[in-house]
Amino acid sequence: MRRPALYSSSSRPVQHIDASAATGSDRNESSFSQPASIDAATSAIAASHPRPSSLSRLARRLADHQLYLLWSLVGLLALLLAISFFFPLRSAGLRLTQSDIDAAVLKTLETSPLPSPAARAYDAIIPSVVRVVGLNKSVKGKDGKEDAERSVGTGVVIVDKGIILTNLHVVQGAETIKVTFADGLESIATITGIQAENDLAVLQAHTIPDDLAAATMRSTAELVPGDQVMAVGYPFGIGPSASAGIVSGLQRTFRSPEGKQQMTNLIQFDAAANPGNSGGPLVTMDGAVVGIVTAIYNPNHQRTFVGIGFAVPIESAASAAGMPPF
pLDDT category, 126, cuts 50, 70, 90?
Answer: very high
What confidence score (pLDDT) does residue 53 get?
52
pLDDT category, 144, cuts 50, 70, 90?
Answer: low
What confidence score (pLDDT) does residue 127 get?
96
CATH code for 228-320?
A: 2.40.10.10
C-alpha torsion sign, points 65, 68, 74, 76: negative
- Pick from 122, 175, 158: which is nearest to 279 by CA? 158
Q: Which residue has the higher pLDDT, 322 or 149?
A: 322
Catalytic residues: 169, 199, 278
pLDDT category, 102, cuts 50, 70, 90?
Answer: confident
Amino acid at 237: G
| pLDDT tens-digit map of 53-78 | 554 555 555 555 566 566 666 666 66
CA 94 to CA 112: how far, in whole Å? Answer: 28
- Pick from 326, 259, 226, 245: which is nearest to 293 by CA? 245
User: Residue 194 above 70 pLDDT?
Assistant: yes
| pLDDT tens-digit map of 241-258 | 999 999 999 999 998 776
Average of per-residue pLDDT across 201-223 = 95
Average of per-residue pLDDT across 134-161 = 80
Helix (H, G, I), strand (E, B) or coil at 192: strand
| pLDDT tens-digit map of 229-244 | 999 999 999 989 999 9
The DSSP secondary structure of 244-304, one letter per residue, reads EEEEEEEEEEEE-TTSS-EEEEEEEE-S---TT-TTPEEEETTS-EEEEEEEE--TTSSSS
CA 17 to CA 38: how far, in whole Å? Answer: 8
User: Residue 16 above 90 pLDDT?
Assistant: no
Contact 235, 275 (CB under 8 A): yes
Contact 310, 263 (CB under 8 A): yes
123-205: what fold?
Thrombin, subunit H (2.40.10)
Helix (H, G, I), strand (E, B) or coil at 200: strand
CA 28 to CA 30: how far, in whole Å? Answer: 6
pLDDT category, 11, cuts 50, 70, 90?
Answer: very low
| pLDDT tens-digit map of 74-101 | 666 666 666 655 555 444 455 778 887 7
User: Residue 259 above 70 pLDDT?
Assistant: no
- Give, as one character, the DSSP assignment of residue 312: E
Q: What residues contact residue 34 under an 8 Å CB cut-off, 6+ apart?
A: 42
What confidence score (pLDDT) does residue 84 get?
57
CA 166 to CA 182: how far, in whole Å? Answer: 16
CA 268 to CA 250: how far, in whole Å? Answer: 6
Average of per-residue pLDDT across 270-289 = 95
**Cα–Cα distances in Å, from 148 out to 10, 40, 135, 151?**
94, 113, 5, 9
Dihedral, 7, 11, 17, 22 alpha carbons, nearest 10: -40
Mean pLDDT of the chain: 77
User: Residue 281 above 50 pLDDT?
Assistant: yes
User: How many helical (H) and strand (E) elements, i.e. helices and strands, does the chain have?
Assistant: 7, 12
What confidence score (pLDDT) does residue 140 get?
63
Helix (H, G, I), strand (E, B) or coil at 97: coil
Q: Which residue has the higher pLDDT, 273 or 55?
A: 273
Average of per-residue pLDDT across 12-38 = 40
User: Residue 262 above 50 pLDDT?
Assistant: yes
What confidence score (pLDDT) does residue 123 get?
95
